[in-house]
Amino acid sequence: MRVLLINPRFRLPIDTRTSPHMGLAYLGAVSEERGDEVAIFDADIEETPLGDFIQTYKPNLVGITANTPQVKQAWRHATEIKKVFDVPIVIGGPHPSVVSEELDYESLDSGNIDIVVRGEGEETWIEISEKVEDFLKHHPTFSTEELFDPAKGVWDKVLGISYKTSDGEYHRNPDRPAINDLDSLPWPAYHLFKMDGYTNLQPATDAVDGSKSFSILTSRGCPYRCTFCSQSIMPVKWRSRTPENVVAEWEHLVRDLGAQEIGVLDDSANIRKKRLFRIAEMLIERELNHVPWIFVNGIRANLVDYELMATLKKAGLKRTAFGVETGNPELLKTIDKKVDHDTIRNAFKVTKEVGIETIAFMIIGLPGDTRETMQDTIDFAIELDPLIANFSMMTPYPGTAVWEQVKRNGRLLIQDWEDYVFFEQHARYEMGDLTADLVEEMYRRAYRQFYLRPGPIWRRIKQKDFWANLPRNARIAMRTFLPKKEKTGLRKQMQAEALS
């Protein structure tokens, strides 16, 4: 069977870097393992129009991924495909998985989506593929209408999906349990991507071009429930791959694919410190530690100690992020971060002592923030003095506790899913005395006060990467320090392309 997986194009600033989509890389790998012919259409880098691609490839099954800002473009792609070809279209990813807001039904309502896969996708995707293949065997003149005929009951027992039958009825089958044995999954199928088209998203060293920079996922899930985080609405259970399985893939990335740097994408890689120690030891034993790597999304500050960081440094860890979020102790409790400021201070101290670079993720505009508490956040970032301080504008994602708070006591300032991005300079909601003007003022102040100090300026200009990427860095600086308008131009262009 021929399957097609799509990553919808997204209107982030034009020079935002891109990387292959790991969720699709896993889905492509399990499809290949099943014996399917697989194509990945990453609209971020693809030049052929999707309609033309569909006409040539003629898939039997299409899967589209979507986080919140991508979902409308995913629906446009579905419309574009159905105009050309009758094929079942499945959507999955963080956005349509939010059942508390019926976002699975929202995608079915959009017109051309047949099935929504909720949560982790590999097993469900394979079962859908089997159903479609079986149906095709018995119905050589395929029609989606027949496939979703309620009398046939094809989809009745498939766990983890929501779908619409041809009589217009909506169905939400029970959730599928999370995959326990992550070692049973094949490794992401990077050979399905046009690797040369990517600009390198997980940089340990900004100077390495995209095709030489790879990501890896050593665990899935997160046991914490931070109020602002979309991960908090996914399955609670944290699961990990064995060190042997992780290091075997690492070796493949380095020796077979020529990785010059690696980004670890886990939400919380250090939940079991012993496992991380073992991974580090094995990287050293197998002489893979010459390739720099980075914890892109941060590790838990409360599960860090000197010995662990020293071993990780020896294993090649160049940089790690920590979710610090706020500099105000009271607010830190209200967001359920389950960590205190002294623990965070200690994590930065030991990490710097062993010579690992640090990133602090901070949030401006949390519910309950005031001018003073946002200033606490800026001051705490300055006190920690990481190499990079990343201030995000609080964006309430559907299904999170903050989303509920804003719905109850505040006012959302955005109506369009395409605006659910947090590196814009625009406030996304107002609540009580927390006005958009105040949040936007403090957001700009955060970047100015943190970066326009002699230390960070000197550190930055000393880096080779800074000079290698000077035009891009200048653009980022302009965007960050100066107020700007929403980028509607690119969005309009995308809509026009998709619907023409």
Catalog residues that contact ligand SF4 under the rule CB under 6 A.
Answer: 222, 224-226, 229, 231-232, 267-268, 323
How far, CA to CA in Å, does 172 sit from each of 113, 334, 357? 14, 33, 46
Q: Choose the contact partner of 19 out of ligand B12, ligand SF4, none; CB within 5 to 8 A by kind.
A: ligand B12
In the complex, what is the shortest distance from the CB of residue 306 to ligand SF4, in angstroms, rounded to a whole number? 22
Q: Choose the contact partner of 92 out of ligand SF4, ligand B12, none; CB within 5 to 8 A by kind.
A: ligand B12
Q: Choose the contact partner of 23 out of ligand B12, ligand SF4, none; CB within 5 to 8 A by kind.
A: ligand B12
Q: Choose the contact partner of 421 out of ligand B12, ligand SF4, none; CB within 5 to 8 A by kind.
A: ligand B12
Token pair of 478, please? 């302009």
Nearer to ligand SF4, 186 or 235 (CB): 235
Q: Which residues bind ligand B12 (CB under 6 A)?
A: 10, 12, 19, 21-23, 26-27, 63-65, 67-70, 90, 92-95, 117, 120-122, 124-125, 201, 217, 229-231, 265, 267, 297, 397, 421-423
Nearer to ligand B12, 195 or 217 (CB): 217
**Cα separation of 475 and 481, whole Å?**
10
H/E stretch holding 143 reads none
Q: Choose the contact partner of 224 out of ligand SF4, ligand B12, none; CB within 5 to 8 A by kind.
A: ligand SF4
Q: Choose the contact partner of 419 out of ligand B12, ligand SF4, none; CB within 5 to 8 A by kind.
A: none
How far, CA to CA in Å, does 40 sit from each of 2, 43, 46? 11, 9, 10
In the complex, what is the shortest distance from the CB of residue 223 to ligand SF4, in angstroms, rounded to a whole number? 8
Nearer to ligand B12, 77 or 313 (CB): 77
Rounded to the nearest 5 percent, the helix, strand and coil shares of the chain are 45, 15, 40
In the complex, what is the shortest distance from the CB of residue 236 to ligand B12, in angstroms, rounded to a whole number? 13
Nearer to ligand B12, 71 or 282 (CB): 71
Nearer to ligand SF4, 204 or 339 (CB): 339
List 261's β-bridge partners, or say none. 213
What one-letter code names the amino acid at 107?
Answer: S
Nearer to ligand SF4, 338 or 475 (CB): 338
In the complex, what is the shortest distance from the CB of residue 310 to ligand B12, in angstroms, rounded to a whole number? 26
Q: Choose the contact partner of 268 out of ligand SF4, ligand B12, none; CB within 5 to 8 A by kind.
A: ligand SF4
Helix (H, G, I), strand (E, B) or coil at 267: coil
Closest C-alpha among 57, 73, 88, 68 to residue 8 = 73
The string over 404-442, giving b where at least 16 C-beta atoms fall within 10 Å of a residue's C-beta and e elsewhere, is ebbeeebeeebeebbbbbbebbbbbbbbeebeeebbbbb
Closest C-alpha among 192, 172, 197, 180 to residue 33 = 192
Nearer to ligand SF4, 72 or 275 (CB): 275
The string over 135-169, giving b where at least 16 C-beta atoms fall within 10 Å of a residue's C-beta and e elsewhere, is beeeeeeeeeeebbeeeeebbeebebbbbbbeeee
Q: Choose the contact partner of 36 out of ligand B12, ligand SF4, none; CB within 5 to 8 A by kind.
A: none
In the complex, what is the shortest distance from the CB of residue 336 to ligand SF4, in angstroms, rounded to a whole number? 8
Q: Is 314:340 a contact under the CB 8 Å cutoff? A: no
In the complex, what is the shortest distance from the CB of residue 65 to ligand SF4, in angstroms, rounded to a whole number? 19
H/E stretch holding 155 reads none
In the complex, what is the shortest distance from the CB of residue 428 to ligand B12, in angstroms, rounded to a whole number? 10
Q: Choose the contact partner of 481 out of ligand B12, ligand SF4, none; CB within 5 to 8 A by kind.
A: none
Name residue, tokens 């094949």.
Answer: 186
Nearer to ligand B12, 75 or 397 (CB): 397
Nearer to ligand B12, 26 or 450 (CB): 26
In the complex, what is the shortest distance from the CB of residue 346 to ligand SF4, in angstroms, rounded to a whole number? 17
Token pair of 303, please? 């599960």
Q: Choose the contact partner of 226 out of ligand SF4, ligand B12, none; CB within 5 to 8 A by kind.
A: ligand SF4
Residue 161 neighbours by CB under 8 Å, 6+ apart: 115, 116, 117, 118, 124, 128, 155, 173
Nearer to ligand B12, 222 or 283 (CB): 222
Q: Choose the contact partner of 243 out of ligand B12, ligand SF4, none; CB within 5 to 8 A by kind.
A: none
Nearer to ligand B12, 243 or 323 (CB): 323
**Cα separation of 454 and 175, whole Å?**
53
In the complex, what is the shortest distance from the CB of residue 371 to ligand SF4, in angstroms, rounded to a whole number? 25
What one-letter code names the amino acid at 180?
Answer: N
Q: Is 494:73 a contact under the CB 8 Å cutoff? A: yes
Q: Is 235:178 a contact under the CB 8 Å cutoff? A: yes
**Cα separation of 293 and 356, whole Å?**
11
In the complex, what is the shortest distance from the CB of residue 88 to ligand B12, in angstroms, rounded to a whole number? 11
399 Rama sector, left if φ>0, alpha if ψ -120 to 50, beta otherwise? left
In the complex, what is the shortest distance from the CB of residue 344 to ligand SF4, in angstroms, rounded to a whole number? 13
In the complex, what is the shortest distance from the CB of residue 281 to ligand B12, in angstroms, rounded to a whole number? 25
Nearer to ligand SF4, 211 or 400 (CB): 400
Q: Is 210:198 a contact under the CB 8 Å cutoff? A: yes
Q: Choose the contact partner of 69 out of ligand B12, ligand SF4, none; CB within 5 to 8 A by kind.
A: ligand B12
How far, CA to CA in Å, does 70 sit from each of 204, 400, 425? 27, 18, 19
